[in-house]
């Protein structure tokens, strides 16, 4: 088991944004989290990376209870996130943005090797390494956010709606990249509104509605599920 949420409740003030959420992500899987707007998808991501704390329940990673760990400690132990809307640093250069992902690391030689790996995966980032992040296109910023996450050398990568606002051809590329990363051994947790595409690459999926899980199962079973088809797949 890589990650386990157990009966997680998260509140922003009085209203719970997540209630009784339990999920498991196993080593090597691609698991997607689906759901409409405001269903609690980003809150789930934030609970995993530690930027919000549950009021009830626990978060376990690699067999350890990390509910009380801060974000840095989680990143140092191999969890990374590509946040919603990318959140790159617009005034920093592409290279500086990438190095922000490695700020906790002391293994300089390995950092350089990982930077070479990111540049190999995204040649555009190498070409633009001296350019400010904010001047890059949406698709390039998505590559940058992904490259930055990879610079922490994650074993568990969470991505919050990576396809948002991208042209279809870039969405395709994005999903191919996710599969390539998964093939290198990185476990992937993918939040998406594009359920059809997410289920096409995922092993399993969970569906949130108003902060509660309403469906879960293998990607195939979700694709075949009539409730799923009506509500999320438009078929």
Give whichever of 34 and 98 is closer to ligand ADP, judged by the CB atom: 34
* 134 DSSP 8-state letter: G
Please report whether residue 35 would count as binding ligand ADP according to CB under 6 A.
yes
- Of 24-32, 38-46, 118-126, 132-140, the window that binds Mg ion (rule: CB under 5 A) is 38-46
Interface residue with ligand ADP among 3, 4, 30, 39 (CB under 6 A) is 39
DSSP-H helix ranges across the chain: 41-49, 71-76, 94-100, 108-121, 123-127, 138-150, 168-183, 195-201, 219-224, 226-228
Compute the distance between CA of residue 95 and CA of residue 213 in angstroms, rounded to an integer.
39
What distances in angstroms separate CA 84 from CA 114, 158, 162, one per listed residue?
23, 10, 7
β-bridge pairing 3-12 and 204-209? unpaired
Interface residue with ligand ADP among 41, 86, 128, 204 (CB under 6 A) is 41
Rounding to the nearest 10 degrees, give the CA dihedral for residues 158, 160, 164, 169.
10
Minimal distance in Å, beta carbon 50 to Mg ion?
17
Cβ atoms 149, 177 nearer than 8 A? no
- Of 40-48, 113-121, 178-186, 195-203, the window that binds ligand ADP (rule: CB under 6 A) is 40-48
Give whichever of 76 and 164 is closer to ligand ADP, judged by the CB atom: 164
Nearest CA to 140 out of 191, 102, 94 is that of 94
Compute the distance between CA of residue 217 and CA of residue 222 in angstroms, rounded to an integer.
6
- Of 12-20, 36-44, 109-117, 150-158, the window that binds Mg ion (rule: CB under 5 A) is 36-44
- Of 76-84, 115-123, 134-142, 198-206, the window that binds Mg ion (rule: CB under 5 A) is 76-84
Interface residue with Mg ion among 39, 42, 97, 187 (CB under 5 A) is 42
Which residues, numbered 42-101, are part of the site for ligand ADP (CB under 6 A)?
Answer: 42-43
Give whichever of 58 and 209 is closer to ligand ADP, judged by the CB atom: 209
State the residues that interact with Mg ion by CB under 5 A: 41-42, 84
State the residues that interact with ligand ADP by CB under 6 A: 12, 17, 35, 37-43
């Amino acid at each position: 088991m890589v990650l386990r949420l157990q009966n997680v409740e998260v509140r922003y003030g009085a209203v719970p944004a997540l209630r009784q959420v339990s999920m498991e992500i196993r080593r090597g899987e691609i698991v997607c989290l689906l759901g409409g707007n405001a269903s609690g998808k980003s809150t789930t991501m934030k609970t995993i990376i530690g930027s919000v704390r549950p009021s009830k329940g626990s978060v376990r990673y690699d067999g350890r209870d990390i509910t009380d760990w801060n974000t840095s400690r989680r990143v140092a132990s191999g969890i990374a996130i590509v946040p919603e809307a990318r959140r790159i640093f617009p005034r920093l250069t592409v290279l500086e943005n990438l190095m922000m992902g490695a700020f906790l690391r002391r293994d300089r030689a390995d950092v350089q090797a990982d930077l070479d790996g990111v540049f190999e995966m995204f040649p555009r980032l190498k070409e633009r390494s001296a350019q400010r992040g904010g001047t890059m296109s949406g698709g390039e910023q998505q590559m940058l956010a992904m490259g930055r996450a990879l610079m922490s050398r994650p074993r568990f990568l969470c991505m919050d709606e990576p396809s948002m606002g991208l042209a279809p051809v870039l969405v395709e590329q994005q999903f191919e990249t996710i599969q390539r990363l998964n093939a290198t051994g990185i476990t992937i947790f993918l939040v998406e509104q594009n359920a059809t595409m997410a289920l096409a690459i995922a092993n399993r999926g969970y569906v949130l509605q108003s902060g509660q899980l309403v469906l879960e199962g293998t990607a195939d079973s979700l694709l075949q599920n009539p409730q799923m088809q009506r509500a999320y797949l438009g078929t």
